Structure 1
Amino acid sequence: MTTKSKIEWTEQTWNPTTGCTKISAGCKYCYAETMAKRLQAMQVKGYENGFDLSILSERLSEPLKRKKPTLYFVNSMSDLFHEGVSDEFIGQVFNVIEQAPQHQFQILTKRAERLAVFFKNRTPPVNAWLGVSVENRNDGLARIEHLRTVNAAIRFLSCEPLLEDLGSVDLNGIHWVIVGGESGVKARPMKPEWADGIRLQCLEQNVQFFFKQWGGWGADGKKRSKKENGRALNGRVFNEMPIHNIY
């Protein structure tokens, strides 16, 4: 089932798998886990297992049915490179992507090592944007090195939820960086200088910068709804995107 998305940097979501397993600090208050359990309670098809991994082969062909050029976020409710997803199924997902050149597909993973191994002897379709999560230094920075080895047309980082100052980040070979604070009842705060430090490095290294949200804590350090906190960083909204074949 493809769904119109409220995520600011995409248009539609496509979830050929659902469910996941927590592996790092950024996973602690996973929004997808909360949503999956809610959808399970509502008896929505595809979420019968809640947040346990489910392979949904019947969803593979969905983007092929849509002719209008669309920006798809693949597996907003899972991780395509989860150890429970076979190489064969991952290959089927990328075959669909290749068969739908009218669309652009954004694939984000925390399992960067497997991403690099999968594409060691493969070339991603030109309309596949490959990204890794970089929420902190300990878990996230090494993922960038794995991503850099993949010959993707667009390589991107999602620094959300940004949990600490990342320090100096080598963005060589990276085309786009998303930054955002955590939302939800148990959201952890993000300091303005952490986000701005990444913005400045993107500017210096000629990388597109997208500030998604403050989340549950505002720039002033006060907790309130993410809508109230908004998306402005230093009084400006940053919606930069890679320009490669978007439409």
Structure 2
Amino acid sequence: MTFSLKVPLLIAALALALPCVAAPEQPSGLSINQFRLVYPASETKGITWSMTNNTHRAYLMQSWVRPLDLATGLPATEQDDKAPATAIPLLVTPPLKRVDPGEQLQLRIRLTDMTLPQDRESVFYLSVKGIPSVPDKDNQTGGQLVVAVVNNMKLFYRPEGLPPGGVTKASEQLRFSLQGDALVVDNPTPFYLNFSQLKVGGKTLPAADLRKLVPPKGQQRYPVPEGARGEVEWQVIGEDSRVTSVQRKTL
């Protein structure tokens, strides 16, 4: 999946637990510059992320880091996330800010301690919730519905000393096998891998299933259509959100 660099967030849609989906560029909106962030350990002062308010309304923006649910590839819900907020050693500042029309919100994400594994990547979601302001009573025309929109960007913490080549080289090392009605993908590398497309025997796996990441030094299972056999074809999403070249292997 490929994202444009500026994507308007439609106020009419509520997206509390889903990654933002790119839409054609509009003349106004909340414009995001990154949907996938890589935080190299070498950036000792942290990394930044920004968005611009190109609407005619002020927004109250709330930002935080939350866990990823490996079983679904989506942000963990509040019910699923049993760990206290302090268990995530990443801090976002400012956590709450008013952003006026034409203003840019710039966030800084910093590692607060060294509890994350140093032999492989760790993955989280940067969640940013925008609550639009309500016009004063004199300017209201009928009832007013205020809808908060939450957008979730994958955030990868990458320790120093990992092999060169990143996701592109790692995708070449994947191993595939069929076990019953599932395609099992083994990832011997220290990188998280996210498929943009995956086919078995020429049959494309649903995009919803591809939300599940293949963890570093681990495996992931994907259901396959009945009778799907033969060649595996895949592409993964790179660090810059572009897809890698098509690769193929025979099962």
TM-score normalised to structure 2 length: 0.25
Larger Rg: 2
Larger relative contact order (Cα-Cα within 8 Å, sequence gap ≥ 6): 2
* Structure with greater strand share of residues: 2
What TM-score does the superposition give when structure 1 sets the normalisation length?
A: 0.25
Q: Which has the higher helix share?
A: 1
